[in-house]
Amino acid sequence: MAAYSDAELQQLMVELESDLVERKESAADGRRIRRNICGFANDLPGNGRPGVVLVGVRDDGTCASLTIDDALLVRLSNIHGEGDILPLPSMTVQKGRLNGCDVAVVTVEPSANPPVRYRGRVWVRVGPSVREGSVEDERLLSERRRAADLSFDSRPAVGIGLEDLDMEFLRDHYLPAAVAAEIPAGNRRTIEQQLRSLRLVQTDRPTWGALLAFGRDPQGRLPSAYVQFLRIDGIEIADPIRNQKQLTGRLDDVVRRLDDLLDLNVSVRTEVVGTRRERQQPDYPVDALRQLAYNAVMHRSYEGTNAPVRVYWYTDRVEIASPGGLYGRWTGGLRCLRSSKTTSIVLPPSSTSAA
* Total count of domains within the chain: 3
Element (H, E) at 218: helix 218-221
| 80 found inside a domain | yes
- The answer on 108 and 33 residing in a single domain is yes
Which tens digits make up the pLDDT trace of 122-134?
999 998 899 999 9
- The answer on 47 and 11 residing in a single domain is yes
Mean pLDDT (whole number) for 192-212: 88
| 1 found inside a domain | no
Average pLDDT, the chain: 86
- The answer on 295 and 189 residing in a single domain is no
Give residue 112's pLDDT band: very low, low, confident or very high (50, 70, 90). Answer: confident
Structural domain boundaries enclosing 297: 227-347
CA dist 96 → 56, 109, 289, 297 (Å): 10, 18, 62, 50
Query: Would you state the pLDDT for residue 85?
Result: 95
**pLDDT at residue 354 greater than cutoff 60:** no
Mean pLDDT (whole number) for 161-173: 91
Query: Would you state the pLDDT for residue 199?
Result: 87
User: Which residue in 220, 248, 232 sits closest to 315, CA to CA?
Assistant: 232
| 177 found inside a domain | yes
Which tens digits make up the pLDDT trace of 306-337?
899 999 999 999 999 998 765 544 444 555 55
Query: Would you state the pLDDT for residue 351?
Result: 47
Weakest mean pLDDT among 1-5, 120-124, 241-245, 259-263: 1-5
Q: For position 128, which CATH number holds? A: 3.30.950
**pLDDT at residue 339 greater than cutoff 70:** no
Query: Would you state the pLDDT for residue 279?
Result: 62
| 119 found inside a domain | yes
- The answer on 166 and 139 residing in a single domain is no
| 155 found inside a domain | no
Choosing from 173, 201, 218, the residue where a domain stops is 218
Q: Which amino acid would we find at residue 192?
A: E
Burial (Cβ within 10 Å: 0-12, 13-18, ≥19) of residue 134: exposed
**pLDDT at residue 242 greater than cutoff 90:** yes
Element (H, E) at 203: none
| 353 found inside a domain | no
pTM for the structure as a whole = 0.56
Query: Would you state the pLDDT for residue 275?
Result: 65
- Percent of the chain residues topping a pLDDT of 70: 87
- The answer on 233 and 317 residing in a single domain is yes
Length, in residues, of the chain: 355
- The answer on 143 and 11 residing in a single domain is yes
| 179 found inside a domain | yes
**pLDDT at residue 294 greater than cutoff 70:** yes
**pLDDT at residue 352 greater than cutoff 50:** no
- The answer on 240 and 175 residing in a single domain is no
DSSP SS3 for 343: strand
- The answer on 143 and 15 residing in a single domain is yes
